[in-house]
Structure 1
Amino acid sequence: MGSANSTLDSSPVSDSFPQAHAGPTFYADNAKALEIKETANVHFRAKDYQKALDLYTSIINQYDDRIMLETIAIARCNRAACYLNLEQYQNCIDDCNITLLFVSSNPNVATKAEFRLAKATRALDDIDAQKKAVDPSYPGRPKYDIAERMREQMRQSSANSAKFRNTDAEEHRPFGYVVRMKGHNPEYVHMRDMVPASLTLGAPRGGEAAYETRREAFVKRIVLSHEPELMQKHPWTCFNCGKAATAWIHSPVSDLASFYPIIKDYARPICEREGSCATITRTAMEKAETEDSEIAREDGVRIKM
């Protein structure tokens, strides 16, 4: 087994989930990105780090906001390994920090990102120490601002974002789908998809009812179509009895008409979609929606599933 520096993440990211929702090229693009990643991995193992880096970068630039978060996280983590081997330490740190924001459900990728982050940071510390030894007036490298780097990444992602069109020639935008199991470990699972641009603009005057009906149908379709992907993220157990989970109870909050469209889903895994465990879990979730101030104050519109 190699070190976290020398080994890449080749974790399979399934592209077999049913595409019954908005993004007309979501899973096809994810499959293309995975093909590029495998080619990049071959170059990395051959120690052609620059070629591998270029291919990982092509995934990030071309697909960053329109494929599975886990695929992008792996591409960034692997690119960080290239930067580390090329002694581009600050770039390595950038990719590791961004990777760690999105891999809460993939400890293997997180471990590698943490290792590379620590190694690159130590390397920069050594360089700083050497410079100070030569020049006592050297102030040290600029302070690293991860929040600003994230804003810059978002700006780049927005600039690179392609326009998607379905059979009705409507533009689609990327949005985040975040499932939260409060008090559970992992607590958050991040996914993404595409939403018709018209749903991000809010209800047109006089068309409120039609908009709400369309939004509700869209949210339900997204939630249910991503269940297979969600089930693969973790060995979930039933909220009530602890048996292996086979389904979910969802309570999504839609905030699509915002700068960063998002659906936040307060969900719980259950052993069966119907039955006593499902009933007990629904009751507990309904109670939390009224008594938990954090959930009750959530921005957006709650969709009844």
Structure 2
Amino acid sequence: MTQVKLLFVVLVVGAASMAIVTPHDIDLTSWLHGKKSQEFVDLMSESMFELERFGGGDLIVWYSVICVLLYLCSSLIDYDCSSRRIMSGLQTKLLVRPGVADWLRRNRLRLEFLVVSIFCCSTLMVKLLKWTMARPRPKKYFWGTRPFYEWWEVGPYFLDEGTYRASFPSGHTASAITLMGLVYVLWFSFENNRRRRLGTALFLFTTVFVLAMATARIMTKAHWPTDVTFSIFGGWVLIHLLFFYGLRVSGGSAGLAGGSTELTPPPPFRGIRICWYLCLFCLAVVGLFLGLKHFLHDRWPWLIISSIGSLPLLFYAAVKCYGEGLFRADA
């Protein structure tokens, strides 16, 4: 299946799923809450970082940490560390192991993609939509403290009411779908059939894991079914776009070199810079939206200044991302 056909399938299935689930948000949430298994919910929600047992979210935390550390090491081996003693020492320890250094260099683009996709799905997409859409959580509706809002409606929360109250989309589910990035790496950046079979196995595991996380979030009335459905397919589309078009892991001058599975290493630490500029871009979008929201609702109308100030930041971040080669055909 080509990359365009796969994207079309994901978009169609995602849109159909949202269309099917949307009219039944309240009923499905009530039904799943009534079927709640406390042991299952605890398994998916507990965390060893909160002095509890190993939970479902910890898998994504460790996956993210490993990807970031490997990417930093892969960038360090080609970075000029002459004026930085600590970094120079770490670089020397990596370079004296030629096999390790060669593996890190050859896989830098893959690792960069994993780091950027994790950051975009689990942080940027979630925060951007939570802060702008401000949809109340199901428990607020069932407690009678907030009315029901559809997923496309802008909710009632303002800045003075906190920025993490919103329901749409699900951060836990969006974090879980980041495993799909590794599936793409195994499926589309290697010619080795063994790695592709491993990617298929990981895809099946990711599907079960993501559905389990999504179900647990609905059972606790932390999210509506549309919240988790959007997180799954929205995150998947974002990963697909970053892989094939944003960072061009499977093609382009920074992709497959000479038709082999050898990838041309990008500049050291480029992924960190891209994440930073994307963060500025999303902050500009949030500032633009929140300024207009408060102004239109006649609450803190002076925040319209943030909308005006966000425009140059939006332009600056977009230019910087493009300059780093993000979504640039000749990168």
Instruction: State TM-score, norm by structure 2.
Output: 0.23
Structure with greater helix share of residues: 2
Instruction: State TM-score, norm by structure 1.
Output: 0.25
Structure with greater strand share of residues: 1
